[in-house]
Amino acid sequence: MSQPADTWILAAQCPSRLGTVDVVTRFLKGQRCYITEQQSFDDRLSGHFFIRTEFRPEDEGFDAETFREAFSARAAEFAMTFELTAPGARMPVVIMVSKADHCLNDLLYRYRTGQLPIEIRAVVSNHPDLEPLAAWHDLPYHHLPITPETKAEQEARVWRVIEETGAELVILARYMQVLSSEMCRRLSGRAINIHHSLLPGFKGARPYHQAYDKGVKLVGATAHYINDDLDEGPIITQGVEPVSHADYPEDLVAKGRDIECLTLSRAVGLHVERRVFLHANRTVVFSR
């Protein structure tokens, strides 16, 4: 499901209390805004409430700043934080890669065809291999090699690219380097990683070959926000594909690549459409 071209998105969260839905719906009615889609969830364990609303102003001359100011005053009564996203907004992103091209290629295709509402500002890599692919899409490519001795310097250069491009989201599309604790802190809630879901059982090199040797019957992928725990950040979405004794290691690798592409693109789409809410180390994800 894609967002209609004329609808705004209001995404908000606050402590659970009486009137949390009403504070949004009553305000929108007062502003003569028609609700076209709404999802909400109250987490009874954490005592926290989440709501996402798509709406269409009925009157011409809708002013976003006036809306924000008026709603801020109302939301403050509920300790509610919110984001307002304009119709047709395209989130600026930086994609980080190493040598594998499948996830990057998939994201570039969905970007080029308009399936993902993103604006790719740059591609960053610790290898030169994928520069021709970025060049074909007329995208800046930053080859920033890294060694254990130059890690801090390389990450500082990566951060400059992120800041200079105004990227609001960083996509680790099979970037095979572990980010430092400081980089994870800086990118908290705004960097998405993808990895195969054979972890933690099959760590290290050739995980699909390890899985084949054990006769696994499922392969999959997990897309998550990064944090300081390797591959253990808050999960956004997961995908799975059945396999059988007839699938050889190369078949598992191929199926794994396909599900990685699909799972990553879904996670990016959910994030940029403001369907993902972070709370502590968990996510609330509203479906598309």
**How far apart are alpha carbons 227 and 13 in whole angstroms?**
22
Rg of the chain over all Cα atoms, to the nearest angstrom:
21
Q: 219 lies in a domain?
A: yes
* Whether residues 151 and 68 fall in one domain: no
Cβ neighbours of residue 282 under 8 Å, at least 6 residues apart? 234
Under 8 Å between Cβ of 66 and 21: no
For the chain, what is the domain count? 2
Residue 112 identity (one-letter amino acid): R
- Please identify every residue annotated as catalytic: 231
Least confident piece of the model among 37-51, 96-110, 245-259, 265-279: 245-259
At residue 229, does pLDDT exceed 80?
no
* Whether residues 81 and 33 fall in one domain: yes
Residue 76: domain span = 8-85
Three-state SS annotation for 112-160: HCCCCCEEEEEEEECCCCCHHHHHHCCCCEEECCCCCCCHHHHHHHHHH
* Whether residues 237 and 278 fall in one domain: yes
Q: 153 lies in a domain?
A: yes
Q: 177 lies in a domain?
A: yes
**pLDDT at residue 12 in the model:** 98
Q: 2 lies in a domain?
A: no
At residue 178, does pLDDT exceed 80?
yes
In order of 200, 205, 213, 249, the CA distances from 210 in angstroms are: 12, 9, 5, 9
How high is the mean pLDDT of the chain? 93
Q: 3 lies in a domain?
A: no
* Whether residues 153 and 75 fall in one domain: no
**pLDDT at residue 3 in the model:** 61
Q: How confident is the model at residue 205 (pLDDT cuts 50, 70, 90)?
A: confident
Q: 112 lies in a domain?
A: yes
pLDDT digits (tens, 9 = 90+) for 127-145: 999 999 999 999 999 999 9
In this structure, what are the phi and psi dihedrals at residue 160, rounded to the nearest 5 degrees? Answer: -65, -40
Q: How confident is the model at residue 280 (pLDDT cuts 50, 70, 90)?
A: confident
Q: How confident is the model at residue 126 (pLDDT cuts 50, 70, 90)?
A: very high
* Whether residues 139 and 222 fall in one domain: yes
Q: Is 225 helix (H, G, I), strand (E, B) or coil?
A: strand
pLDDT digits (tens, 9 = 90+) for 147-163: 999 999 999 999 999 99
**How far apart are alpha carbons 259 and 265 in whole angstroms?**
10
* Whether residues 48 and 112 fall in one domain: no
At residue 202, does pLDDT exceed 80?
no
> Is 0.85 surpassed by the pTM of this model?
yes
Share of the chain above pLDDT 90, in %: 83
Report the alpha-carbon angle 101-92-116, nearest 5: 60
**pLDDT at residue 2 in the model:** 58
pLDDT digits (tens, 9 = 90+) for 10-43: 999 999 999 999 999 999 999 999 999 999 999 9
In this structure, what are the phi and psi dihedrals at residue 196, rounded to the nearest 5 degrees? Answer: -70, 155
At residue 198, does pLDDT exceed 80?
no
Strand locations in the chain (E): 8-15, 33-43, 48-57, 81-85, 91-97, 118-125, 141-143, 169-172, 191-196, 218-225, 235-242, 276-279, 282-285
**pLDDT at residue 213 in the model:** 86
* Count of positions (residues) in the chain: 288
**pLDDT at residue 208 in the model:** 80
* Whether residues 15 and 147 fall in one domain: no
CATH of the domain at 130: 3.40.50.170
In order of 4, 6, 176, 186, 203, the CA distances from 233 in angstroms are: 31, 34, 16, 14, 17
pLDDT digits (tens, 9 = 90+) for 36-72: 999 999 999 999 999 999 999 999 889 999 999 999 9
